[in-house]
Structure 1
Amino acid sequence: MKYNLAQILDMQKVEELLKSYTKATGLVSALVDSKGIILSKSGWQQICTEFHRVHPQSAKNCKLSDTTLANRLNAGNKFNVYKCLNGLIDIAVPIIVDNQHLGNLFTGQFFFEEPDFLFFKKQAKKFGYNESEYLKSLSKVPILSESDIKNKLDFFS
C-alpha cells in the first residue's frame, strides 16, 4: 500500500506539535512530504520567510537544499545535518511508515558558529536584498552548539 503523509496524519495535531516544539526549543520546524511540499511549519526565521524563500533564485536554493537533505536520509538514520545553499544549518528526521520514506520533519535555520558576514553581504547583493534589513534578520538567527542540537533532536527522533 502506498501512503500519502497528509492523508494519514491529523494535520491539526501536527500543527500543535510543531508549535509546541518551537515554543519548547526556540527552533523552527516543518513537516515536508516526499515531493518537497511543506505541509506544516512553525517559527521560521525572518531571513528565510522574508528573503530566502521569497526571491525566485534563493527560493530555488531552498527547495534544492530541502530535497538534497531529504535524499541523504536512508532508512535507519535518525537524522541528517546539512548546510543549506543559503548558508544556514538545517536538519531532517525521516518519517517512515511500512518501510516507505513519506517525508521529513525539519528543524534548523540556525548556525553552529558565527556566520560568515561576507557571504551574506554577497548574497544580499546577488539577490538584490536590502543589505541592512537582510543583515538585521541575519543577526536574529541563533547560534547553537552541536551537543545542544543533538539533545533537542531526541524529541524529533
Structure 2
Amino acid sequence: MDYKSIQQLIKTAGEEGLTFLEIETEGIHITMKKGLEDDTPENSISVTSSSEILEDEKEERSQSEEKVIEEDKTLASKPIIDEKNVKAVNSPIVGTFYSSGDPKEPNFVEVGSKVKKGDTLCIIEAMKLMNEIQSEFDGEVVEVLVENEQMVEYGQKLFKIKVK
C-alpha cells in the first residue's frame, strides 16, 4: 500500500465519519481512531509495517496528511467566485486600511453589499490624512481582500466587485 492510498483512505474515513478503522494488508497494519480516549490524542493514526518506518518519516507523513486535510477544508469553505465580470478595486496610496469611519460604526461594505459608483468602500489613512476610497463602478462586493487596520501598498487589491 503506497502513501497516496493511505492518504485517500484517511480522507474517505474522515468523510464517512468513521470513528475506528483497522486494516492489515501487504504486511502493513493501519489503525485509525477518532475521538477522545484516556491517553490518546483526539485523532490518532498508526501505521506499522514489516519493515521498520523511521520516526522522522512517520512525523513527516502525519504533518503532510494534516496539511492535505486542512487544504481540503479550506477549499471547501471558500466560496467559488465566477471571475467573469469581476473587477478589483486597488489601493491608490500606501497607508492603513479602515473598513469603517469609526470602530463603533458598521463597515462601509461587506461581502454581498450592493454598491454604486462613488459609494465609499473604505478609508485609507496616510500621513494622518483620511482618504475615502470610492467604488469606480456599480455592482456587488464579492470579496474583501484585506483586514481592518491592515497596512496596504500602492496598487494592492482591496475588494473584488462583480459589475452589472
With the length of structure 2 as denominator, give the TM-score of the two structures: 0.23
Structure scoring higher RCO (CA < 8 A, sep ≥ 6) equals: 1
Higher strand share: 2
Q: Determine which structure has more spread, i.e. the larger CA radius of gyration.
A: 2
Structure with the higher fraction of residues in helix conformation: 1
